[in-house]
């Protein structure tokens, strides 16, 4: 970075980050999970179809909000571990499973 004229960054925030990682390791770094909203809608479509509730993406906003609120307050798992879905939906579900295992302090 020095040779490219970015010495201010190299000596500032980047140096601080390198020192923190060297001292504490990556465990103290928070994760930022982002995906396109269409991927989430596709995943919710797969879940609601599996549960015979219809197609999530065709619902109006009020019905979506009611469904999501009820499920977030519920105690049971929404998605069974053996649900058969497309690879893209599986990736989204796996991402959320890992995030749940890590806990909110990691995000």
Give yes or no: residues 22 and 55 share one domain: no
User: Which carries the bigger pLDDT value, residue 103 or residue 84?
Assistant: 84
**Which has the closest alpha carbon to 41: 24, 17, 59?**
59
Give yes or no: residues 18 and 38 share one domain: no
Average pLDDT across the chain, whole number = 85
Give yes or no: residues 65 and 92 share one domain: yes
Which DSSP string corresponds to 17-51? HHHHHHHH-GGGSPP-----HHHHHHHHHHHHHHT
User: Looking at the whole model, is its pTM more than 0.75?
Assistant: no
Q: Residue 58 has what DSSP assignment?
A: G
Domain that holds residue 11: 1-28
Is 61 in contact with 54 (CB distance < 8 Å)? no
pLDDT tens profile 8-36? 767 788 888 888 888 877 766 666 677 78
Q: How confident is the model at residue 39 (pLDDT cuts 50, 70, 90)?
A: very high
Number of domains in the chain: 2
**Which has the closest alpha carbon to 83: 46, 34, 28?**
46
């Amino acid at each position: 970075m020095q040779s490219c004229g970015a010495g201010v960054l190299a000596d500032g925030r980047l140096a601080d980050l390198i020192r923190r990682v060297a001292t504490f390791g990556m465990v103290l770094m928070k994760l930022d999970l982002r995906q396109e909203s269409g991927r989430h809608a596709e995943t919710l479509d797969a879940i609601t179809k599996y549960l015979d509730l219809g197609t999530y993406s065709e619902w109006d906003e009020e019905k979506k909000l009611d469904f999501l609120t009820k499920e977030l307050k519920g105690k049971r798992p929404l998605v069974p571990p053996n649900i058969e879905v497309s690879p893209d939906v599986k990736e989204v579900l796996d991402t959320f499973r890992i995030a749940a295992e890590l806990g909110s302090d990691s995000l």
